[in-house]
Amino acid sequence: MTDSTAAPPPDAGVAETAAEVRAGKTTAAEAVDQALARIERAQPRLRAFVLVMAERARAEAAELDARQAAGAPLGPLHGVPMAVKDELDVAGVPTGYGGAAGGGPAAADAEVVRRLRAAGAVIVGKTAMPEFGIWPYTESVAHGHTRNPWSPAHTPGGSSGGSAAAVAAGLVPAATGADGGGSIRIPAACCGVFGLKPQRGRVSSAPRPDLWGALGTVGVLTRTVADSALLYDVLAGTVAADRWHAPAPAAPYADPEPGPRLRIGLLLRTAVPGSTAAPSCVAAVRETAEALAGLGHEIVEDRYRLPDPTDTFLPQVLGGVRADAGRMPHPELLERRTRAVVRLGRVAVPPPVLRWAERRGDRLTARVFALFDRYDVLLTPTLTGPPPPIGRMDGAGMLRGALRAVPMVAYTALWNVCGNPAAAVPAGFADGLPRSVQLVAPPNGEHTLLRLAAELERVRPWVAVPPG
């Protein structure tokens, strides 16, 4: 490091890091070196990464610095170190899906990774996830337990728990995730970061045509709303290989214009019978409603119970896991509970059942969308309770794992079935653990969610990185 430059601090975000590199206040090499040093220090405690690509990341950063020195055009993410969830292909390294059954190195980057690199980001490593993202806890036989930066005794959630932990701890400014039932929003809620699940078809899943049928979408986790907006400007858009295609955004997500006063429906009842929100989660929603009312929005508490999506959600999960496992060259190394899920998928979810499940999802969506005739946005808890203690999957087979997963997805899974954009927004703390609320918009409503979340961030900013 030279006397005239300094590495970005741990709480520097995507936009700040890129701006400092472009301005010559730091370099891509320094930003990457500091990210790698933070990862090395935190990895024994947090276990957020399954693979760190230190030499390759340093070489790519040096190349970016050389391009900048030569006066070449710079991308919007120039010099920003980022992490990628282990289910996205990164050329030259294995795609393990959180387990040990993967094979050799991927031949090419996934479309999302290609776009990040083209915009100037440096991929420093791959983050932990439960095998195939089945569970909302980032625990696996192959890689152990990933821990919450706010309290290592608690889970960071899942399935994008490694990404959420890495961002929350300040190891990287941002990381990719994927959300098939809450897997961006749940870990964002557990770790106190911002996580927007985009509209179905907004971001490419290529080379895979889809993620778990109609359920899944790729996205990002960041510490600030503005950083997510910047990243979705880079990532929005699909390719011919994608099954789902959302309309092109009408305007950039970054720097949105002020929006109108919104009518916001407050819903506290979960979509899962017998599941209720803890008092701390209810308090987070009510405090957020007060803040939104103070910003001029109309809040209406609604007693409507959202429909239970299990009969359309579960078959698509089983079919998706079966397809994921079918691509693994070493199925004998799958976890025992994963093999049980695959067997159930083969028996219970033949192609006609999958097609029925998606049609059932369309009918359920038509019912739910009537809510958006009354409200511009919905406000709910993200989780039914605080982040649980670590070890939720210890000794758990398929059935016990499923029972322990249900409360975690009670507010999130429905919006995968319907395809809506939905965001987990930090909402303070209870007993030292993050709280979160969920904002849900009609189709193609990412602009509205980003604008509303940014308003909340301005009036009650959240802590960027845990002390120490």
The pLDDT value given to residue 468 = 67
DSSP characters over 263-324: EEEEE-S-SSTT----HHHHHHHHHHHHHHHHTT-EEEEE-PPPPP-HHHHHHHHHHHHHHH
Which range is least confidently modeled, 73-82, 250-259, 362-371, 429-438? 250-259
Structural domain boundaries in the chain: 14-459
pLDDT at 273: 85
Specify the higher pLDDT residue, 460 or 255.
Answer: 460
Active site residue 197: no
pLDDT at 2 over 90: no
pLDDT digits (tens, 9 = 90+) for 97-136: 999 999 899 999 999 999 999 999 999 999 999 999 999 9
- How far apart CA 400 and CA 406 sit, in angstroms, is 10
| pTM for the model | 0.97
Query: Does residue 140 carry a catalytic annotation?
Result: no
Of the residues 183, 204, 205, 280, only one is catalytic, namely 183
Whether 236 shows a pLDDT value over 70: the answer reads yes
Q: Is the pLDDT of residue 332 over 90?
A: yes
Topology, domain 14-459: Amidase signature (AS) enzymes (3.90.1300)
When pLDDT is cut at 50, 70 and 90, the band that residue 257 belongs to is: confident
Average pLDDT of the segment spanning 173-196:
98
Residue of 159, 160, 228, 280 marked catalytic: 159
Q: What are the distances in angstroms from CA 264 to CA 182, 339, 442? A: 21, 43, 12
Answer yes or no: 183 catalytic: yes
